[in-house]
Amino acid sequence: MEFRELECFIVLGEELHFARTAERLYLSPGRVSQLIRSLEDRIGGRLFQRTSRHVSLTPLGERFLADLRPSYDGLANAVSRAKADAREVTGVIRIGFLATPTQVVTGSVCAFERRYPGCLTELVEIPLSDPFGKLRAGQVDIAFTLLPVDEPDLATGEGLNRVSYRLGVSSRHPLAARSSISAEELAGVSLIGLDGPAPRAWRERTAPSATPSGRPIPRAGTVTTSQEGLTQVALNRGGMLLCTPTAAYHRRPDVSFIPVTGLPPSILGLAWVKAAETATVRAFNETAVGHALGRAVLVA
């Protein structure tokens, strides 16, 4: 049976008046009559006696109302509790991060925990080669990611930072002693790309196939994680582009990180599945934006 039919029967059983029932349910009186007739057809008997002046329950209707009321009230209460829960920031939120828990990541988590002490946070690493797989599988609720994101099923927040890139090369590489290089010089460096299901735009952002002027950039194989890539870099098997905070986090003696000029900035933000958005997801995004951009976030 349709929930709307049962709801209409309950309210009409209380009001015994079609116009008042229609007003309570935001329906037309004609639609109320249609729903009641449909329910009576399903049951196989009349639930109401109705004339132009009077509406009353039949004996069948009285018994049905008495039997239905406890179940209907329980269902209505369950729906009300679910709606209230959806508005509350409680429970556990699983937060994905890309390879490196930089200050933007840890600072956002700490700010959220201070603001919502009743909500637990869990950190989950996201493979660089599959930035959205764990989101879509429901293994994380929200994830730090590179912006922009062109995925129809995903929503994103504001950019949390805008930073430059650095080229990681072996300390034995001819470019290792340079103070900086231009984006056009990447045409002379074999870049390590990504394996796995990462979208094409994501691959281009992490390992572009051409310089800004269109000169091709050679490829030095593919990896699935940052650590795999840095190992290849240390072995002098290619170069790898990393944002400046990630490069600082992975500083090591056998790898040199050289500032690159002429590339668009790396922008970190948050993404989540549109259909799985909750009050907690929205609260974490708002808190992260407030933390990163120095805004005050009001708690409802």
> When comparing pLDDT for 99 and 70, which is higher?
70
Torsion of CA 123, 128, 130, 136, to 10 degrees: 30
pLDDT of residue 108: 96
pLDDT of residue 86: 59
Same domain (yes/no): 138, 112: yes
pLDDT grade, residue 293 (50/70/90)?
confident
Q: Assess whether 233 and 105 both reside in one domain.
A: no
- 234 and 245 assigned to the same domain: yes
Residue with tokens 């109705």: 50
pLDDT tops 50 at residue 298: no
Whether residues 51 and 16 share a domain: the answer is yes
pLDDT tens per residue across span 74-100: 888 887 776 666 567 888 999 999 988
pLDDT digits (tens, 9 = 90+) for 136-172: 999 999 999 999 999 999 999 999 999 999 999 999 9
- Is residue 148 located within the same domain as residue 95? yes
103 and 76 in a common domain: no
Indicate if 153 and 182 belong to the same structural domain: no
Name the domain boundary from 32, 63, 81: 81
Statement: residue 21 has pLDDT above 70: yes
At 58, the pLDDT band (50, 70, 90 cuts) reads very high
* Domain final position from 28, 53, 81: 81
The pLDDT confidence band at residue 214, using thresholds 50, 70 and 90, is: very high
Cα 123 to Cα 144: distance, rounded to the nearest angstrom: 11
* Integer CA distances (angstroms), 156 to 18, 143, 151, 279, in order: 46, 10, 10, 15
For the CA atoms of the chain, what is the radius of gyration? 30
Position with higher pLDDT, 285 vs 77: 285
Mean pLDDT of the chain: 92
**What H or E segment, with its residue span, contains residue 57?**
strand 55-57
Mapped onto helix, strand or coil, the DSSP state of residue 262 is coil
* Domain CATH for 215: 3.40.190.10
Considering the entire predicted model, what is its pTM? 0.70
Last residue of a domain, one of 65, 81, 97: 81
Say how many domains are in the chain.
Answer: 3
Q: Could you give the CA distance from residue 142 to residue 124 in angstroms, rounded to a whole number? A: 10
Query: Would the pLDDT of 222 be above 90?
Result: yes
- CATH number for the domain spanning 10: value is 1.10.10.10
Q: What percent of the chain has pLDDT over 90?
A: 83
Is residue 295 very low, low, confident or very high in pLDDT (cuts 50, 70, 90)? low
Parallel, antiparallel, or unpaired for β 48-50 and 55-57? antiparallel
The pLDDT of residue 91 is: 87
* Cβ-contact 39, 8 below 8 angstroms: yes
Same domain, 257 and 177: yes
On whether both 194 and 284 belong to a single domain, the answer is no
206: helix, strand or coil: helix
Domain carrying residue 143: 87-161+267-298
pLDDT of the residue at 297 = 43
CA 208 to chain centre: 26
Please give the share of the chain, as a percent, with pLDDT higher than 70: 96
Instruction: Say whether both 200 and 136 belong to one domain.
Output: no
pLDDT tier for residue 294 given thresholds of 50, 70 and 90: confident
Q: Taking 50 as the threshold, does the pLDDT of residue 299 lie above it?
A: no
Which tens digit of pLDDT belongs to each residue from 263-283? Answer: 999 999 999 999 999 999 999
Pair (55, 177) in one structural domain? no
Measured CA to CA, the distance from residue 124 to residue 139 in angstroms comes to 9
CA atoms within 13 A on the CB side of 113: 12
For 258, the token pair is 């050289």
Are 246 and 273 part of one and the same domain?
no
- The SS3 of residue 34 is helix
200: region left, alpha or beta (phi > 0 left; psi from -120 to 50 alpha)? alpha
The pLDDT, as a whole number, for residue 77 is 82
